[in-house]
């Protein structure tokens, strides 16, 4: 069973061309809700609600606002460990789950807080403690304090999605995540990470599901898709791209460095392997590559990842409304039939 998710651009991450500001595409309730409703109508199973600080709008507040205007799509709600007192976070998420009728999963983010400087080890220890505590409280068990009265619809903790490439991050995922999320990389390196994470989880008597977060650029022909990818970065000033990436709180993480290495290994057109284009990472931190091609090439690339045991795909494209519709009409039927 494949889970196809789209991306609601809550952090001002929507563009016609990367590095070129477009006031009409800045995060707002109206614009982001339009993306959610379009993704639901198009047949996506879930939608990522990303989290930021300086940019965009608040994840939980926005998700609560659209909860009663959707009836099928599952929000993947991103929350940062340490940002809220744990019992407060548990109550907040349980309330949100109630508003959504139980249609919610949680994307755990381990990052420094604004103005904080915390080494990887202590930060991930905090993250693990919060993940274990959050699961206990949402399961109705005491974790230093009594669980909140309000419970999730299921009475248990929603699935926890979590990612990270460092050894500390992998150790946390093996112990506490339900779905281990990866950013784009070559097929061989993705395969190696899946093997490593299965081994790590088994050492704790656990198993993991796997997810893949990647952009897409799909057109009727490969030539059109490659031209669309080139158009995305055609107006990008390299200095502007550097500044955009530097704004992110995770700009020095192992995962972000791996995305930079991927760009460095690419050919002159930005392709590191067939149909995997790294140009998007020139103007954004985090997930920095896209599957580019015609509908059958994009579907085949996703099927390659599925052969590794990856069953969750969190996709996005620019502008998000347009690419959402394209993917749904051109690629989704090829994946739903398999």
Residue holding tokens 């080494």? 119
Contact assessment for residue 193 and residue 308, using Cβ atoms and an 8 Å cutoff: no
Q: List the chain domain ranges.
A: 3-336
Contacts of 42 (CB under 8 A, 6+ apart): 6, 324, 325, 327, 328, 329, 332
Q: Taking a C-beta distance cutoff of 8 angstroms, is the pair 191, 293 a contact? A: no
pLDDT for 248: 56
Contact 149, 103 (CB under 8 A): no
CB distance 125 to 180 below 8 Å: no
Contacts of 216 (CB under 8 A, 6+ apart): 290, 291, 292, 298, 315, 316, 317, 323, 327, 331
Only one residue has tokens 């996709």, namely 315
Instruction: Give the phi and the psi of residue 131 in degrees, each rounded to 5.
Output: -65, -45
Q: Can you identify the CATH homologous superfamily of domain 3-336?
A: Luciferase-like domain (3.20.20.30)
Ranges of the chain whose pLDDT falls below 70: 240-252, 337-338
The residues, ordered by sequence, that sit 6+ positions from 58 with a Cβ below 8 Å of its Cβ are 10
* 49 within 8 A of 79, measured Cβ to Cβ: no
Q: What is the pLDDT of residues 173-211, one digit of tens each?
A: 999 999 999 999 999 999 999 999 999 999 999 999 999
Query: Which residue carries 């047949």 as its tokens?
Result: 43
The predicted pLDDT at position 45 comes to 98
Backbone angles phi, psi at 301, to 5 degrees: -65, -45
- The rounded distance, in Å, linking the Cα atoms of 46 and 314 is 8
Closest CA to 314 of 134, 184, 178: 184
Burial of 230 (0-12, 13-18, 19+ CB in 10 A): middle
Q: Which residues, in sequence order, are bridge partners of residue 77?
A: 49, 106
Is residue 137 within 8 A of residue 152, CB to CB? The reply is no
Q: Whose structure tokens read 């407060």?
A: 88
90 neighbors 143 (Cβ within 8 angstroms): no
User: In sequence order, which ranges of 76-183 are alpha helices (DSSP H)?
Assistant: 86-99, 120-138, 167-176
């Amino acid at each position: 069973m494949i889970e196809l998710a789209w991306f609601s651009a809550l952090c001002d991450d929507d563009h016609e061309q990367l590095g070129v500001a477009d006031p009409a595409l800045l995060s707002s309730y109206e614009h982001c809700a339009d993306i959610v409703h379009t993704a639901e109508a198009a047949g996506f199973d879930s939608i990522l609600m990303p989290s930021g600080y300086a940019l965009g709008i608040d994840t939980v507040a926005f998700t609560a606002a659209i909860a009663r205007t959707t009836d099928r799509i599952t929000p993947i709600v991103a929350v940062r460990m340490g940002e809220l007192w744990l019992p407060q976070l548990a109550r907040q998420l349980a309330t949100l789950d109630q508003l959504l009728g139980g249609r919610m999963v949680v994307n755990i983010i381990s990052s420094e807080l604004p103005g904080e400087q915390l080494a990887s080890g202590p930060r991930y220890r905090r993250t693990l403690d919060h993940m274990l505590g959050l699961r206990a409280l949402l399961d109705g068990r005491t974790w230093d304090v009594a669980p909140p009265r309000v419970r999730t619809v299921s009475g248990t903790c929603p699935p926890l999605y979590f990612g990270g490439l460092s050894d500390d991050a992998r150790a946390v995922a093996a112990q506490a995540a339900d779905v281990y999320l990866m950013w784009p990389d070559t097929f061989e390196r993705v395969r190696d990470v899946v093997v490593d994470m299965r081994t790590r989880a088994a050492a704790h008597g656990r198993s993991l599901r796997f997810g893949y977060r990647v952009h897409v650029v799909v057109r009727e022909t490969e030539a059109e898709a490659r031209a669309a990818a080139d158009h995305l970065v055609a107006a990008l000033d390299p200095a502007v791209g550097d500044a955009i990436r530097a704004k992110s709180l995770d700009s020095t993480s192992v995962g972000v460095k791996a995305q930079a290495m991927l760009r460095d290994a690419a050919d002159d057109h930005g392709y590191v392997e067939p149909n995997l284009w790294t140009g998007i990472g020139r103007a954004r931190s985090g997930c920095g590559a896209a599957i580019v091609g015609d509908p059958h090439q994009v579907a085949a690339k996703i099927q390659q990842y599925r052969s590794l045991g990856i069953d969750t795909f969190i996709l996005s494209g620019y502008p998000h409304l347009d690419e959402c519709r394209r993917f749904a009409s051109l690629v989704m039927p090829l994946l739903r039939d398999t």
